């Protein structure tokens, strides 16, 4: 069953079109990857879906136009994790994660349990009483994701949640996102790591210059031709434990006539 539908999302700034008519439909329980090179429009699309920026087109959550919901109702139904690290505040990690409960408007046992669960999911129990502005960048990234999880919204929009993390934490976050989806949540996650996208996402949307280039199962989207055309890289493609990996290997490849013919088809 579809949870999120977006029709022809278009975002313009001045003369520039940052997102150009992107449509998508995301099922309940789906882990959906947004991929594409720097400047492709992934964050802009996510911000439009989160209703944080004026845009054309409509996004609906369970059939209701997100733009018609009050900000508070919207904030209980979708959690948004922004790119980057703008939250080095003098708050304890626990109080920061509890900000995720603000849209619910009450500090009850269920809310406190949600905060505890989010801290445990991100292995932050030992850091819960530490100040956020005294954590490392990666620890703060885990706290930011914990705050988004504490919302317990049916939809999570996460912009590069693993960008600051070491390999262990990258994998543990992706495994956690999969478990959240198994509970029925839907997640749109922006990723630059193509192997993580390939292994963990049900489907990926490849963006380039504001447009959707390809959408579908990772193995159908992360083809040598698409990677060469959109990222301008050649990659090593392989399989381990029956899962596909994609390792970018060389930039600015020489034009390969066979791949050009595949891309043109
Ligand atoms: N306020 C703005 N005005 C004009 N152009 C903007 C504005 N914000 C972003 N852009 C441009 O829009 C394009 C898309 O930006 P966006 O942040 O959505 O890309 P992205 O795919 O998330 O990139 P990255 O992987 O680098 O985070 C970029 O070329 C960027 O320079």
Looking at the chain, the whole-number percentage of residues with pLDDT higher than 70 is 95
Q: pLDDT digits over 54-77, tens only?
A: 999 999 999 999 999 999 999 999
CB 262 within 8 A of CB 255: no
Among 144, 166, 181, 196, CA closest to 35: 196
| Residues 39/24, Cβ–Cβ less than 8 Å | no
Ligand 1 in contact with 42 (CB < 6 A)? yes
The verdict on the CB of residue 82 being under 6 Å from ligand 1 is no
Task: Please determine, for residue 255, whether its predicted confidence score (pLDDT) is greater than 70.
Answer: no
> In the prediction, which pLDDT does 137 show?
92
Residue 216's pLDDT is: 98
Query: Cα(114)–Cα(155) distance, rounded to whole angstroms?
Result: 16
- Looking from the CA of residue 45, the nearest atom of ligand 1 is 18
pLDDT digits (tens, 9 = 90+) for 120-143: 999 999 999 999 999 999 999 999
pLDDT given at position 258: 65
Nearest CA to ligand 1 atom 2: 13
Q: Give the model confidence (pLDDT) of 189-207 as tens digits.
A: 999 999 999 999 999 999 9
Ligand 1: which of 38, 44, 82 to mutate, judged by most atoms within 8 Å of the beta carbon?
44
Q: Is 224 in the pocket of ligand 1 (CB under 6 A)?
A: no
Per-residue CA distances from 121 to 91, 172, 197 (Å): 20, 9, 21
Residue 118 in tokens: 């989010």
Residue 127 CA to ligand 1 center (angstroms) comes to 34
CA of 60 to the centre of ligand 1 (A): 24
**Alpha helices, H only, 8-158:** 42-49, 71-77, 93-98, 109-121, 137-150
Q: How much is the average pLDDT of 220-224?
A: 96
Please give the pLDDT value at position 254.
Answer: 61
Handedness of CA 202, 40, 141, 69 (dihedral sign): negative
The number of angstroms, rounded, from the C-alpha of 134 to the middle of its chain's C-alpha atoms is 26
- Which residue(s) pair with 26 in the sheet? 4
Ligand 1 mean position to 19 CA, how many Å?
A: 9
41 Cα–ligand 1 center, Å:
6
Using a 6 Å cutoff on CB, does residue 54 contact ligand 1?
no
The Å distance, Cα 40 to ligand 1 centre, comes to: 7
Tell which residue, 72, 24, 33, 29, has the closest CA to residue 157: 33
Q: How confident is the model at residue 94 (pLDDT cuts 50, 70, 90)?
A: very high
* pTM more than 0.80: yes
């Amino acid at each position: 069953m579809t949870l999120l539908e977006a029709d022809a999302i278009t975002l313009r700034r001045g003369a520039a079109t940052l997102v150009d008519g992107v449509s998508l439909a995301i099922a309940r329980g789906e882990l959906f990857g947004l991929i594409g090179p720097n400047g492709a429009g992934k964050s802009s699309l996510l911000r439009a879906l989160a209703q944080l920026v004026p845009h054309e087109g409509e996004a609906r959550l369970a059939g209701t136009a997100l733009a018609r919901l009050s900000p508070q109702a919207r904030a209980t139904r979708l959690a948004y994790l922004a790119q980057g690290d703008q939250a080095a505040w003098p708050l304890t990690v626990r109080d920061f994660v509890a900000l995720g409960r603000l849209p619910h408007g009450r500090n009850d046992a269920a809310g406190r349990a949600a905060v505890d669960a989010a801290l445990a999911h991100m292995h932050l129990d030992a850091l819960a009483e530490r100040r956020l502005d005294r954590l490392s960048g990666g620890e703060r990234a885990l706290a930011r994701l914990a705050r988004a999880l504490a919302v317990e919204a049916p939809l999570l929009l996460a912009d590069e949640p693993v960008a600051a993390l070491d390999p262990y934490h990258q994998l543990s976050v992706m495994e956690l996102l999969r478990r959240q989806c198994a509970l029925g949540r839907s997640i749109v996650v922006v990723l630059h790591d193509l192997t993580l996208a390939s292994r963990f996402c049900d489907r990926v949307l490849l963006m380039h210059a504001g447009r959707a280039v390809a959408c579908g199962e990772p193995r159908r989207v992360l083809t040598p031709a698409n990677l060469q055309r959109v990222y301008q890289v050649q990659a090593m493609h392989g399989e381990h434990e029956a899962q596909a990996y994609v390792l970018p290997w060389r930039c600015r490849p020489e034009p390969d006539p066979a791949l050009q013919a595949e891309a043109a088809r």
